[in-house]
């Protein structure tokens, strides 16, 4: 049985992050396909004592809980563990930051698969020095990894253009089947009514533009009893996340914190609409989840969101608060109509088969 070791993520299950959600869905399915799968987790994020989850083994290692250092230190240690403790056949690195250590992994004789989820150096949260290192990581990964997976056509085209890497594999993010929750126990606890709230979710980082959403919602002349519910949190309690939470409390926005499972499903079932005002995305799992629940969507017109191809009237110009207000006013004034979206490209079982083919190619 071939051994696959995954590094570059915080861990699974129930850990905040789009890449973590991706891995939580994908790798139990890979394990069920006949592979020996181990995820190397960061102890500072782990709230359980699990050694295994749905057939996926865990190896937990200590790393400093510092935004500037934890990823690279964790991945360096992860490469060593993959080689000498796990005896990996394939090391699967998640993200361009961790990809900085790809040459080290190859020197140790490991076969490497890299998944690029986003051009992270475009994100506002990083300093110039961090952005430079992320670009170097992407370059190292694209030059030295045996196989490169990307999650969107946009990223694929960029990798071909930047590095002349023409053998990249396009394998989309996925979305599980929706779990409609007809009860409203969690809504009652939050103090919101079914079909009377706008919903958004994600990590509290500048590129998600949740500050803009709060400002736009609070400026509405009439909210008609609607509330804004924001699910998520920050990895690090930095200046931006503190200001965002303060802004939310001052404008009576309901913050749920990081939630998954039945609570999240209940919020998705009963929301009036979903909003994603981001300035940068790879292929947003949060939007795919909202689409699986047939929610009307209001999303920024960035390339990653446009590539998903939802209804044209769902988009607004990124950063244009006036247009966002208009979209919110329309949702509140008219009873939103549930929509059916084409999600054939985003089935996790198909994504698993495509990923397994990449492993088999190595």
Q: Can you spell out the DSSP letters for 285-314?
A: HHHHHHHHTT--EEEE--HHHHHH---GGG
Does residue 13 have a cis peptide bond before it, meaning omega lies within 30 degrees of 0? Answer: yes
Task: Please give the share of the chain, as a percent, with pLDDT higher than 70.
Answer: 97
Predicted confidence (pLDDT) per residue in 217-271, tens digit: 999 988 889 999 999 998 778 899 999 999 999 999 999 999 999 999 999 999 9
What is the distance between the alpha carbons of residues 185 and 128, in angstroms, rounded to a whole number? 45
Average pLDDT, stretch 16-22?
91
Query: pLDDT averaged over the chain?
Result: 92
Q: Taking a C-beta distance cutoff of 8 angstroms, is the pair 155, 119 a contact?
A: yes
Res. 311 pLDDT band, cuts 50 70 90: confident
Residue 216 to residue 213: CA distance in whole angstroms: 5
pLDDT at residue 224, rounded to an integer: 86
User: Which residues lie below 8 Å from residue 298, measured CB to CB, with a gap of 6+?
Assistant: 273, 274, 275, 276, 277, 314, 316, 324, 327, 328, 331
Contacts of 65 (CB under 8 A, 6+ apart): 44, 236
Contact (Cβ atoms closer than 8 angstroms) between residue 201 and residue 286? yes
Contact criterion met (CB below 8 Å) for 140 and 114: no
Predicted confidence at residue 337, as pLDDT, reads 80
Q: pLDDT-based confidence at 123, cuts 50/70/90? A: low
- Domains defined for the chain, CATH in brackets: 3-174+347-361 (3.40.50.2000), 185-333 (3.40.50.2000)
> DSSP code of 51?
S
Contact call for residues 222 and 288 (beta carbons, < 8 A): no
């Amino acid at each position: 049985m071939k051994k696959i070791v995954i590094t570059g993520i915080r861990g699974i299950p129930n850990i905040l992050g789009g890449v973590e959600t991706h891995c939580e869905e994908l790798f139990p399915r890979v394990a069920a396909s006949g592979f020996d799968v181990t995820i190397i987790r960061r102890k500072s994020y782990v709230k359980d004592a699990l050694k295994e989850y749905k057939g996926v083994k865990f190896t937990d290692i200590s790393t400093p809980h510092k935004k500037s250092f934890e990823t690279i230190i964790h991945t360096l240690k992860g490469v060593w563990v993959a080689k000498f403790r796990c005896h990996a056949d394939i090391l699967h690195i998640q993200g361009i930051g961790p990809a900085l250590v790809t040459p080290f992994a190859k020197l140790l004789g490991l076969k490497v698969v890299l998944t690029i989820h986003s051009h992270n150096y475009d994100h506002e949260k990083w300093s110039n020095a961090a952005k430079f290192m992320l670009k170097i990581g992407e370059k190292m990964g694209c030059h030295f990894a045996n196989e490169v997976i990307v999650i969107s056509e946009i990223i694929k085209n960029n990798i071909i253009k930047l590095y002349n890497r023409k053998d990249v594999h396009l394998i989309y993010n996925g979305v599980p089947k929706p779990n409609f929750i007809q009860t409203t126990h969690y809504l009652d606890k939050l103090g919101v009514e079914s079909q009377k709230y706008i919903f958004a979710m994600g990590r509290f980082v500048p590129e998600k533009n949740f500050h803009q959403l709060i400002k736009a919602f609070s400026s509405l002349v009439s909210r008609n009893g609607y509330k804004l519910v924001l699910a998520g949190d920050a990895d690090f309690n930095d200046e931006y996340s503190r200001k965002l939470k303060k802004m939310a409390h001052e404008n009576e926005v309901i913050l749920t914190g990081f939630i998954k499972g039945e609570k999240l499903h209940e919020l998705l079932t009963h929301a009036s609409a979903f909003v994603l005002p981001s300035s940068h995305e790879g292929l947003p799992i949060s939007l795919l989840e909202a689409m699986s629940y047939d929610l009307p969507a209001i999303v920024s017109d960035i390339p990653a969101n446009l590539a998903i191809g939802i209804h044209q009237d769902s988009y607004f110009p990124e950063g244009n608060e006036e247009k966002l207000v208009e979209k919110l006013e329309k949702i509140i004034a008219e009873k939103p109509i549930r929509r059916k979206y084409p999600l054939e490209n985003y089935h996790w079982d198909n994504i698993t088969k495509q990923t397994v083919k990449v492993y088999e190619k190595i």
